[in-house]
Chains A and B, each alone.
Chain A
Amino acid sequence: MITIDKVSKHYGSFQVLTDCSTHVNKGEVVVVCGPSGSGKSTLIKCVNGLEPFQDGQIHVNGTSVGAPKTNLSRLRSHVGMVFQHFELFPHMTIRDNLTLAQVKVLKRDKDEAAEKGLYFLDRVGLKAHAHKFPGQLSGGQQQRVAIARALAMDPICMLFDEPTSALDPEMINEVLDVMTELAQEGMTMMCVTHEMGFAKRVAHRVIFMDHGKIVEDDSKEAFFANPRSERAQQFLAKILQH
């Protein structure tokens, strides 16, 4: 579904990604973790072309992301993305947040889009809030709306960029529950997250990054039981203390 092949990226002389290669198969859940500044968010943003990269290739469902001829808008319209800071559109009601791209990008008619949007809003347990504005919801609720907004586009895969990092601890689980459910339904997912509990429960594979390189890329069992690199061992030791 997603293949990342020898991708490198630099800002001027600063190397952000070095020779990153990995893949995500259909129906697979891959968690990307690593210390801050290790390039994991950059890598996931390269997948739908939000960040350009200089070397290497990324293919999503057979389409090359970096190729100049690629219609990035079309590609992105079926690659769902969820952001750290939710990024709902604050001047629109929840309903309009859910329907905007369906109408403008997929050219669905308004009623169909609203029906679809409300269906997913119901699935994340927020149907009663359709008429509200994002600012009137809690962080956890906003993030669930953001997931519903992405799902309403019928994505072939979902990218999560630290979806719980900006949340109060008590709201993290409501978001992780939605993500877990999604994974169990077979959605292809690439998640940048520090939630190792989620990784243990849900992920098929774990990628560990450090200094712009993919240091480990292993099944979750192998990763948690026996990380090969010293850097990953240190990281796990620090993160799992709690």
Chain B
Amino acid sequence: MEYQWNWGVFLLPSAVNDGTYLDWMIAGLQTTLLLSLSAWVIALLLGAVVGVLRTVPHRGLAFGATAYVEMFRNIPLLVQLFFWYFVLPELLPAVAGNAFKALNPVAQQFVAAMVCLGLFTSARVAEQVRSGINALPRGQKNAGLALGLTLPQTYRHVMLPMAFRLVVPPLTSEFLNVFKNSAVCSTIGLLELAAQGRQLVDYTAQPYESFVAVTVAYLMINVVVMLLMRKVEVLVRVPGYLGGK
């Protein structure tokens, strides 16, 4: 049987009359962007803190940070997602659990997905930040301390600015991963890009058009991320150091 290509399908009104199928895809794209970017913000902030804690000379803090990283990066993302969405609301104190369940279903899915993706990615960011800090010459920390800076000041002004520069390339990979991993969130019913693509197949029986559109959308997102991060790399380049002039 010959496949009937029909790119016009995107402009047809949807089966439930809430705009065109293209509108579905755009809505999915928006959800993917919003979800991934908010998860990335969580991941960067938490990851930076946890990554730093793994390197501080305090056993309790370093142990806690290590436990955090190992937990979030060694449990499959899908399992974590089910935990946040299905299990945790039941375990929370009644007030919090009920508050969560009182949200509209889309908000519930979004919050669970955002927290899940954010924490999962933060563990990976933390490892990158830690490796960046450990890659610095040991004397840098001593030089900061010897000038009378406190340890937090030394991290803030001396070590972290260089550590973050060192890990821009691996962080770019993690940034790309957030968008790709966000597709997993369709499993709890969140209508992000991949889910909208699948829904389109169900309604129109035009799977190829749908999957091509979804693929191109993900590719475009990641091309933009790559270009952006390359810009960042150039911006933070240090003259006379690390590929700078």
Contacts and interface: CB of A to CB of B under 8 A. Distances in A.
Interface of A: 45, 48, 50, 72-74, 76-81, 83-85, 87-91, 100-101, 104-106, 132-137, 149-150, 153
Interface string B216-245: 000000000000000000000011110010
B143 A83 contact: yes
Given A85-B137, A91-B161, A76 B145 contact: yes
Of the listed residues B147, B150, B153, the one surrounded by the most CB atoms of chain A closer than 10 A to its CB is: B147
A87 B145 contact: no
A135 B149 contact: no
A81 B146 contact: yes
Contact of B240 (A77, A78, A85, A136): A136
Contact of B148 (A85, A105, A137): A105
Give the 4 A-B residue pairs with the shortest CB-CB distance, closest first.
A135-B240, A77-B148, A87-B143, A101-B147
B46 interface: no
A221 B134 CA distance: 45
A158 to B, nearest CB: 11
Given A73-B148, A87-B142, A153-B147, A104 B238 contact: no
Contacts of A80: 146
Given A104-B153, A104-B157, A133-B240, A90 B147 contact: no
Contact of B140 (A89, A100, A105): A89
30 contacts: A45-B142, A48-B146, A50-B142, A73-B148, A73-B150, A76-B146, A78-B148, A80-B146, A83-B143, A83-B146, A85-B137, A87-B140, A89-B143, A100-B147, A100-B149, A101-B148, A101-B149, A104-B153, A105-B147, A105-B149, A105-B153, A132-B240, A133-B239, A133-B241, A135-B238, A135-B239, A135-B244, A137-B240, A149-B147, A150-B147
A153 to B, nearest CB: 7
Contacts of A105: 147-149, 153
Interface of B: 137, 139-140, 142-150, 153, 157-158, 161-162, 165, 238-241, 244
Contacts of A74: 148
B226 to A, nearest CB: 24
B161 A104 contact: no
Contacts of A136: 239-240
Binding site secondary structure of chain B: helix
A60 to B, nearest CB: 13
A136 B237 CA distance: 13
A211 B167 CA distance: 40
Nearest to B150: A73
Nearest to B148: A77
A74 B149 CA distance: 8
A72 B26 CA distance: 58
Given A83-B142, A91-B161, A91-B162, A133 B238 contact: yes
Nearest to A72: B145
A50 B240 CA distance: 29
A70 to B, nearest CB: 13
A134 B239 CA distance: 8
Contacts of B240: 90, 132-137
